[in-house]
Structure 1
Amino acid sequence: MRYDVLFPDYHIHAHTLDLCKVLECPALEQTFLEITTHSRFATSTTTLMSTEAGGSAPVPQAPEKQDVKAEKKDQNKPQQSKDQQPAAPAGEKKLSGAEIKKKKQEEKAARRAQAKAAQPSQGPAQGGQHAAGGDGKGGKAKPKQDGQHQHQHGGAKLPVRSAATAVVKDNKPSIPDCFSHLSMARRIDMTHADKDVNPAVLVLGEHMSAFAISDSITRLEATLLAFRKLQVIESYTTPHGFTFSRHFTSHVLNPQIEYLTACRPMCFSMGNAIRWLKLQISKVDIDLPDSDAKKLLCESIDNFIRERITLADYVIVSTAADMIVDDDVILTYAHHHLVERTLLQARNDKKNFRVILVDDPYERVGIDLAKKLSAAGIQVAYASDLGALRTHLSETTQVLLAAEAIFSNGAMYARAGSCDIATAATDLGVRVIALCETINFTERVSIDSLTYNEIDPEHSTDVGFRLLFDTTRDKYISVVVTELGNSSATSVPAILRKLEEL
């Protein structure tokens, strides 16, 4: 194609371009080329095409229409390429890929803020979910946040509820691994208990889990009475084809025991009594009628309570009261029914003595005991904690403690804090007397407070927890008072052998 035909003044334009280059004016050169391209070239091309076709030359279109067509052509381009490479406005710097991504994120954040402001009643869990996802997950969490945001505006609640449930903090206390074997009392809803559990046992379990019945002997007596007098045994009827001794234990007695154990860990005296009860059931003659078998079993339970609990407590109280003399200063810890009855019995025997009562700093159960002793005419000095223990022991003649259990190696299992008192008293040369029924003796061995213990549910948090009991070594116990008499802590194995013979 000949440019001199299309552009009659082609040489003039060439000279003008050369002049622009000589003057080093790129802007003028660009403007001249745009004018030439849009006007001269378009008009000359149309004229040439019409002349070659043999027709008359049409009226040339205005440059504005060509611009409109160009804009429409640009609009018809694929939307994906436009999003990937957005055109920068005139006079502005072209944005890089990272800058474009950052700009999109800012626009998205602005839209979220606007939507959140438009819905002030939106739950705090949803807002916390967006914040947690954006801060903790980085770029990977943002698509998930967008999806959740769309579901919220669209009306779908399920993803929001599940996410809110996931961020709920677990209030369960964290127990170290070294204490994970220890149990803790917990309240069980009656609707979740086994259908075979007697209503009387359900109530007893609630009392145990709430520590309304705390010490071991009281729990043991209440359990046996629930089995005996509250229709657990008397209301039982042996099914056809079974015998009393083979059906009652597995189908009636075991569900009661499992429920009580789930409410609070079984103490040593309860374990001994239940083993004895199962032994008595197994001894029932299979040919014996149900009425006679139940009568025999109820009589055995009554005799057990009378001999191993009632008479045992009476003998222990009388023996310990005889060990108190005039002008004695007795130091005791917290509250126990054996210690209370011993001090009151000594007062009834017309003995004059003083009592220093060191209370449990967590439960304050000694306040009621101090009031009872004062009402009985006993001079009582009350200490709220173990802070001044050695000062009180310096004027003490005897220490009177009650045990929850005695291990076969002579160690005493008692309320937490008893070991501190016994250790300090032995160091100062003060006699330590331990009161315990033989039903609380166990063949197990313990040398520390971690093997057998319970976690206090009322003082168990994420920060720390408290143990209910501690273990005192036999060398810190001067004498153990039982219904069989006074003995040293090292004589426990001999007492256990004697109990087996009985």
Structure 2
Amino acid sequence: MPQQQNLMTDEEKAQKALLKAQRKAEFEAKFKKELELKKKTENDKTTKTKAELKAERRALQESQRAAKSVTGAGQQSSQTKQQIEAQKLKPAIGESKNSKPVDTNVRMKLKSPDKMTIDEHKNRTIPSLAKQESILSNKELPIKIFSHLPRRISDLNKIPTDSVPPIVIKIGYQINKDLIEDPTARCVAMLVAFQEVIKQYQPIKDIKRELQKILFEDCELFIHKCRPLSISMINAIMHLKMIFSRISSGLDDSNFRSKVCDAIHTFIHDEIMCSRDAISAVHALKIFPINSKETQTILTLGCSTIMQQIFLNAIDQNVQFNVIVVDTSPRFEGRKMVEFLTKHHIPTTYVLINAILYVMKKVDKVILEAHSVLCNGYVMSTVGSSQIALVAQAYNVPVIVCCETYKYSDQAYTDCFIQNELGADSMKSFFDFSSKNANLYNDDPNIAANLNFLDLFYDLIPRELVSAVITEKGFLPCTSVPAILRFRETVR
């Protein structure tokens, strides 16, 4: 008997285990079905909410457009004001019950808590969208992106001139109106004006401190507002500061004036004039095959005085060459170079920068003038020069840059958006080249409101695209900037 009872218990255990397994399988299948149903309902809810959000956004846009179009009528304007007030009161109604009466459509939207959250989310996103629309409509987007870049002041009456000498005011106005446009000419004009100020100034107590305040605070700030200082002008001012620091304050006024003026004259003669002569008359002619019947084709960008000197010296050496002048908007400076070359009977081709791929296959060398060579080897030149250098590398054409060593900078940039200059009246200069466009620009005031120019002055050429830099010391690589700066006396 006890053995039978034990056998019965084992059978019962087996049956119980089977029942338990069946119940577990049924429970798992039921749980899976419930999960699938929940997922389907959640997906339906999300699709519904997206559709509702889309419909509400469309309704809001239509109401805003209608409100703008009917501002002339009194009744319509009152209705739009009520709609705007109702939209402003939506979050307040969702939060408290003691609120002002609003439209029935607003109340229908605020009945369920899900719709309340949708409305709150919508009201949070509306201001950002409206702000973006206002930025695009008011043409503020380029200004905000490039707000750190300096720009000259077009209205000269806004520049304070109380403590600025008249000679500096005259030079500043000429620079502002582009009567003195070349960076080297601007630097020379500034130094000559400073020299005249030093000669004519009558001190009150200490001539050194008083001139430092006038030149390096008042005059420098005034010229910078007329047009942002170029790197050559900044280096010249730093050199002048070093001259002031090396002269003792115990000297009398006449000796102090003579020493400073002599130092400025030496800097202009040695660092600027002699350097340009050495580049144009000695080193640059090495790129031309002298006493050869082959005619070379030189490509240049815009207009520069040092390139004009190089071409004149090449003519004196009886060098046969052609010139391709590439030009860009909005200033179209290359037309001045074309007039200069045709005046001296040099075969010239004038193209815009969009035709650079077509003419590059005929070019032997690309010669550009640099505004500065940076410490990392990048070359700052006229806007569009990096594009020309890139195309020249694709066609295996050497790119040669002309730059004096006093324009070398210890700063390092990798793109032209970090440090650049914005044009002042580029829109007007763009329309002035065509009589029809000029009349259209003067007759239709909406063009100025709906058109925005981004006029950058300078461009950066990577050091990998530059074959050599011609300086007064000879042909140098772009990577030699730190070595040149180490031996110079100017300190940034």
TM-score, length-normalised on structure 1?
Answer: 0.64
* Deviation digits for residues 357-400 of structure 1 (CA, Å, limit 9, x no counterpart): 112232222222222212222111111x1122122110111001
Per the alignment, do residues 462 and 404 of structure 1 end up closer, same or farther by CA in structure 2, a change over 3 Å counting?
A: same
**203, 224, 229: which one pairs with 1:261?**
224
- CA, structure 1 residues 388+462, in 2 after alignment: closer, same or farther (shift >3 Å)? closer
Identical-pair percentage: 27
Q: Residue 472 of structure 2 is aligned with which of 478, 483, 502?
A: 483
Matched, 1:440 2:407: yes
Give CA-to-partner distance per residue, 1:318-362, whole Å, 9 cap, x none: 211231124111011111111111011101110111111112232
Deviations 1:78-124 (A, max 9, x none): xxxxxxxxxxxxxxxxxxxxxxxxxxxxxxxxxxxxxxxxxxxxxxx
Distance 2:181 2:208 in 1: 32
Give the corresponding residue for 1:244: 207
Letter in 2 for 1:295: S
Task: Label 1:128 to 1:406 Cα distance change in 2 as closer, same or farther (>3 A).
Answer: farther
| Structure 1 residue 421 displacement after superposition | 0.4
- Report what 1:321 is aligned to: 285
8 A contact 2:183–2:371 mirrored in 1: yes
What does residue 236 of structure 2 align with?
A: 273
Tell me the secondary structure at the aligned position of residue 419 of structure 2.
Answer: coil
Q: 1:132 to 1:395 in 2, by over 3 A?
A: farther
Aligned 1:331-370 pairs, distance under 5 A? 331-370=299-338
User: Per-residue displacement from partner, 1:41-87 (whole Å, max 9, x unpaired)?
Assistant: xxxxxxxxxxxxxxxxxxxxxxxxxxxxxxxxxxxxxxxxxxxxxxx
Following superposition of structure 1 onto structure 2, how do residues 419-458 of structure 1 map, counting pairs within 5 Å? 419-458=386-425
Measured after TM superposition, the shift of residue 244 of structure 1 is 2.4
Q: Residue 368 of structure 2 aligns with which residue?
A: 401
Q: CA deviation at 1:272?
A: 0.8
- 5+ residue gaps, structure 1, are 1-126, 142-169
Q: CA deviation at 1:246?
A: 2.5
Q: Name the SS for the 1:350 alignment partner.
A: coil
Find the partner of 1:234 among 184, 199, 204: 199
User: SS at the partner of 1:273?
Assistant: helix
Give distance in 1, aligned partners of 2:359 and 2:417: 29
Task: Kindly state the Cα deviation for residue 205 of structure 1 after the two structures are TM-superposed.
Answer: 1.5
Contact 1:173 1:462 in 2 (8 A): no
Structure 1 partner of 2:115:
none
| Greater C-alpha Rg | 1
Residue of structure 2 equivalent to 1:137: 81
The secondary structure found in structure 1 opposite 2:412 is coil
Work out the CA distance in 1 between the residues paired with 2:471 and 2:411. Answer: 18
1:223 alignment counterpart:
190
Q: CA deviation at 1:273?
A: 0.7
Gaps of 5+ in 2: 1-70, 86-136, 428-449
- Aligned residues of 1:245 and 1:282 also touching (Cα < 8 A): no
Q: In 2 relative to 1, CA 140–364 (structure 1 residues): closer, same or farther, beyond 3 Å?
A: closer
Distance 2:471 2:329 in 1: 28
Q: Give the C-alpha shift of residue 500 in structure 1.
A: 3.6
The answer to whether the Cα contact below 8 Å between 1:201 and 1:226 also exists between their aligned partners in 2 is yes
Instruction: Give yes or no for contact 1:196–1:252 (8 Å, CA) kept in 2.
Output: no
Count of aligned positions: 346
**Which 10-residue stretch deviates more, 217-226 or 175-184?**
175-184
Cα distance in 1 for residues equivalent to 2:452 and 2:287: 44
Determine if contact 1:187/1:206 at 8 Å carries over to the other structure.
no
- In the TM superposition, residue 284 of structure 1 has moved relative to its aligned partner by 1.9
The question of whether the paired residues in 1 share the 8 Å contact of 2:239 and 2:490 is answered with no
Structure 1 residues 191 and 448: alpha-carbon distance in aligned structure 2, compared to 1, 3 A threshold: closer
Contact 1:208 1:219 in 2 (8 A): yes
Q: Residue 330 in 1 paired to residue 298 in 2? A: yes
Bigger proportion of residues as helix: 2
**TM-aligned CA distance change 1:252 to 1:394, over 3 Å:** closer
TM-score (norm 2): 0.65
Query: Using the alignment, how far apart are the partners of 1:463 and 1:251 within structure 2?
Result: 37
